[in-house]
Chains A and B, each alone.
Chain A
Amino acid sequence: MLDALGMLGAGFGHAFQGGVVLHAFWATLVGIIIGALPGLTATMGVALLTTLTFSMAHSTAILVLICVYVGAIYGGSRSAILLNIPGTPASAASTLDGFPLARQGLAGRAMGISTTGSWMGTLFGALCLAVLAPAVGEFALGFQSYEMFWVAMFGIVIAGSLSGGDPLKGYIAGFLGLFVATVGQEANHAYPRFAFGSTDLAGGLGLLPVLVGVFGVAEVLNSMRGPAVQAVASKIDSILPRPSDVLRYWRTIFRSGAIGTFIGAMPGLGEDIAAWTSYAAAKRVSAEREKFGKGSVEGLMAAETGESACVPGAIIPVLTLAVPGSAPAAVLMAAMMIHGLNPGPMLAISSPEFIYQIVAMLIIADMVKLFYGLVLVRPLLWVLLIPRERLMPVVFVLCTVGAFAITSRLFDIWVMLGAGLVGFVLRELRFPMAPLVLGIVLGDLLDKNLLRGLVLSNGDITPFFTRPISAVLAAVTLLTLLLSIPAVQAGWGRGRQALQRRLRRAG
């Protein structure tokens, strides 16, 4: 306990050394602006800003990216409240009560609630990360290739099941992502898979160019196709958060914080699902259920707390298992690898202080977010009015720079373009992007651990199912897969009803 507090203190000390903390101010501001602008997502923001961090020390770079991530998730609520358009998918649930509050002339109060909920959510999640990550990391040290294979499979299956509404398309997207990760030289024999004689393809498809394409270029195309954003909805009243809102809804804040952190820790689900689940849970138990959807303070508080608690939650599996909990966390993980950090089970042994540095960074980002939440209301209204015809070409330029900068290959710009066009078409066909990203990120993990497991067992697949943790992970994965099949869902529902009837009759 004292060790942990000492390392947390050292984490803060590290962030305040040499003015590193000053980076938090511009990075959080950039994040909030990116999040507030409809069409620009947290994933895109983290991917684009990764380019800027190449020349920075790794701790400064990760602080910048965490600030962008935290800021962007929060910033999305601005456009959700004022325009009824979620700035990021995570803020979709905030439109339900945020915009009605704005229409009632309470936009300032809605933004105050959003700031309070988001601040407390990230703080709650960061404390959970400090407590849980070392324990999960220690537990994960016992994982071998068999378990890591199932962790990767579980990530794809759970993300495919829950992230897009259509599990079948989610699974296909996940496996397409896994396929993308196999392109290029493999680890055992350096054989160039799917290279077709091209030295560029033999080097593999870069993670960052693909992600910038899927989230940046596809967003630009999507944004230019849709209807233009209309004017701001409301005048701004007082934006100061009210302590009475916190005291009155403290249960909602804790519940949503716990839900958000838990969903964040599940591979590939992300902030949008955390917000919706927190919102639904708050509605189910609320004494003011009838207000939900019509300007409920509790509903907005739940959604904002849930999505912001998800950010630290999504970093827990990054640090302990090298499996991202959300799409922006996947890019953050890629950035950690670019900067020579190796997230995963060994982190708790090799550099346990890094976990607490991340906690300190999250808390710093959260405090800066609170500061901007109080002072940065009117300037953000102007940002929201920038026409997309002027914004999107600049975003496209940043995507191009972001794709090129990591290895200085023009080929990566082509990869970005191709990924953007394919990503756009897949979105149009309602394939969710989270499993695709997770597949790309987890592809290498799955590849290496499947083959390593097979070699260790001399081709015998039974250890994948008989080792205790492996068996549990396999069972949960297969159960999730089965329960996503409509016929099984219907059978499960009928069975449950029959059991309830029998119990009632017996009782």
Chain B
Amino acid sequence: MSEADTAASPLAGEREPVSPRADLITAAVLLAFGLGVVALSLHMPTFVEQSGTGLTAPGIVPGFHGTVIALLSILLGLRAVRRGGLRAGGAGGSARKDLGRLSIAAVLGVIYAAVLVGRLSFWLATALFVFAFTAIFEWPRGPQGRIRRLLEAAAIALGTGWAVVLVFEKLFFVRLP
């Protein structure tokens, strides 16, 4: 395969690899998680009285998964160390790119799904979210045509709120939050 398709192939890893430092931190988090799962599994009841053998204990399967996650995370950590994960300054810079846009999208999504939905009428919550999302992300385009863009955003927002209620609730009888 050419260089281009090797780089893009999912068999070869589709994007630049993460830094060994990031892998090391991930491995530590996963190890803690795996051990936590094992500890919680060990504390589950075994129901020996009911089953007679304890072979149906609820903790067996998650304990197995937790053990495997912990072991694999140790391997990930060892590999990261071998690749220089302990050297300072190895944290990936690419992950920090566009962090601002990402944070705005995440915060708006959380406000919509966790705060607005369930407290306001669904169409209103949806319209507010779509308008805020579109307006905030289109704001940096500059003052030229901003009023028109904001009006378009408002129209899209109201249209989305109305269309979702119409299609899901009225047409397909799906209950909305």
* Chain A residues engaging chain B, CB cutoff 8 angstroms: 51-56, 89, 92-93, 95-96, 162-166, 168-169, 171-172, 175-176, 178-179, 182, 186, 188-189, 191, 193-194, 217, 220-221, 224-226, 272-273, 276, 279-280, 283, 292-293, 387, 389-390, 392-394, 396-398, 400-401, 404-405, 408, 410, 413-414, 416-417, 420-421, 428-430, 432, 446-447, 450-451, 454-455, 458-459
Contacts and interface: CB of A to CB of B under 8 A. Distances in A.
A387 B130 CA distance: 13
B76 to A, nearest CB: 6
B44 interface: yes
B156 interface: yes
Interface in B155-175: 156, 160, 164, 167-168, 172-175
B98 A413 contact: no
Which of A96, A394, A451, A459 lies at the interface centre, i.e. has the most chain B CB atoms within 10 A of its CB? A394
Given A165-B14, A429-B22, A458-B53, 5 more contacts: A54-B174, A164-B13, A189-B45, A276-B9, A389-B134
B13 A165 contact: yes
A53 B114 CA distance: 25
Does more than half of chain A's interface fall in helix, strand or loop, or is it mixed?
helix
A408 B175 contact: yes
Contact of B102 (A225, A279, A410): A225
B45 A283 contact: no
A272 B65 contact: no
A165 B12 contact: yes
Closest 10 CB pairs of A and B: A165-B13, A393-B133, A389-B137, A224-B105, A188-B56, A191-B58, A225-B102, A182-B62, A55-B173, A393-B130
Contacts of B73: 172
Interface string B66-95: 101100110110010000000000000001
A312 to B, nearest CB: 21
Which of A54, A224, A272, A414 lies at the interface centre, i.e. has the most chain B CB atoms within 10 A of its CB? A224
A455 B22 CA distance: 42
A220 B109 contact: yes
Interface in B118-139: 118, 126, 129-130, 133-134, 137-138
Contact of B174 (A55, A397, A430): A55
Which of B68, B98, B105 lies at the interface centre, i.e. has the most chain A CB atoms within 10 A of its CB? B105
Contacts of A272: 10
B164 A401 contact: yes
A450 B164 CA distance: 43
Contacts of B8: 92, 95-96
Contacts of A410: 117-118, 177
A48 B35 CA distance: 35
Nearest to A451: B56
Given A55-B173, A226-B98, A397 B160 contact: yes
A52 B168 contact: yes
Contacts of B9: 92-93, 276
A417 B10 contact: no
Interface of B: 1-2, 4-5, 8-15, 17-18, 22-23, 26, 30, 37, 40, 44-45, 47, 50-51, 53, 55-56, 58-62, 64-66, 68-69, 72-73, 75-76, 79, 95, 97-99, 101-102, 104-106, 108-110, 112-114, 117-118, 126, 129-130, 133-134, 137-138, 153, 156, 160, 164, 167-168, 172-177
B177 A413 contact: yes
A428 B94 CA distance: 10
Contacts of A293: 2, 4-5
A182 B76 contact: no
Contacts of B109: 217, 220-221, 396, 417, 420
Contacts of B114: 413-414, 417
A221 B105 contact: yes
A454 B8 CA distance: 44
10 contacts: A51-B174, A52-B172, A93-B5, A96-B5, A188-B47, A224-B137, A225-B105, A389-B134, A404-B175, A413-B117
Nearest to B130: A393
Given A51-B168, A175-B65, A455 B56 contact: yes
Contact of B11 (A52, A55, A165, A416): A165
Which of A55, A392, A401, A421 lies at the interface centre, i.e. has the most chain B CB atoms within 10 A of its CB? A401
B10 A225 contact: no
Given A194-B62, A225-B101, A393-B133, A417 B50 contact: no
A191 B51 CA distance: 14
B33 to A, nearest CB: 8
B75 A168 contact: yes
Given A273-B11, A405-B168, A189 B56 contact: yes
A429 B62 contact: no
A300 B10 CA distance: 17
B61 A430 contact: no
A455 B113 contact: no
Contacts of A414: 113-114
Contacts of A398: 164
A269 to B, nearest CB: 10
A330 B52 CA distance: 36
A221 B101 CA distance: 9
Nearest to B118: A410
Which of A54, A193, A273, A416 lies at the interface centre, i.e. has the most chain B CB atoms within 10 A of its CB? A193
Given A165-B11, A430-B15, A389 B56 contact: no
A178 B65 contact: yes
B171 to A, nearest CB: 9
A264 to B, nearest CB: 15
Given A55-B174, A164-B10, A172-B72, A421 B17 contact: no
A368 to B, nearest CB: 20
A280 B11 CA distance: 11
B172 A55 contact: yes
Nearest to B175: A408
B95 A428 contact: yes
A474 to B, nearest CB: 16
B66 to A, nearest CB: 7
A397 B69 contact: no
Which of A226, A397, A420, A428 lies at the interface centre, i.e. has the most chain B CB atoms within 10 A of its CB? A397
